């Protein structure tokens, strides 16, 4: 597969996964569990993201070891990002009508989007590009 086509296919898969996992598959117990290490919600949510990235990683034809490592890294980074945002949000008491709330939401989404870069970079490295 040509590199541009591969990159676009991976980006499409990763963006679709992000939308589904962050906006369609998050019941209240998952949302409420992100800021508490003792509650399962944040772990399940991060796991959905890691599993949801598999189609993009498989399209790239990555080695199984790379897929496992990238998925584990995505799980850890996604969980840490959401945990941090939940803590900051709880302390700020900013509601959806405030700029602070939307700035935190935007920063959270921006950080999540940056987690696509290692997947794309690894695909390029394995193809010698």
Query: What pLDDT, in 10s, does the model give residues 3-21?
Result: 888 888 888 999 999 999 9
Q: Which of the four pLDDT bands, split at 50, 70 and 90, describes residue 127?
A: low
Taking the model in full, what pTM does it have? Answer: 0.85
Helix axes 116-126, 99-114, angle to 10 degrees: 20
Report residue 42's pLDDT band, with 50, 70 and 90 as the boundaries: very high
Which domain covers residue 15, as residue numbers?
3-126
Q: How many domains is the chain built from?
A: 1
- Give the separation between CA 3 and CA 128, rounded to whole angstroms: 10
């Amino acid at each position: 597969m040509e590199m541009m086509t591969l990159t676009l296919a991976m980006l499409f898969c990763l963006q679709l996964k992000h939308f589904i996992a962050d906006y369609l598959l998050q019941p209240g117990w998952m949302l409420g569990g992100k800021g508490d290490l003792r509650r399962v919600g944040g772990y399940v949510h991060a796991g959905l993201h890691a599993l949801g990235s598999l189609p993009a990683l498989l399209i790239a034809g990555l080695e199984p070891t790379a897929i496992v490592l990238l998925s584990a890294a995505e799980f850890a980074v996604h969980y840490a990002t959401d945990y941090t945002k939940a803590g900051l949000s709880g302390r700020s008491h900013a509601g959806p009508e405030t700029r602070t709330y939307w700035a935190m939401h935007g920063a959270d989404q921006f950080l999540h989007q940056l987690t696509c870069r290692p997947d794309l970079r690894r695909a390029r490295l394995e193809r010698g590009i």
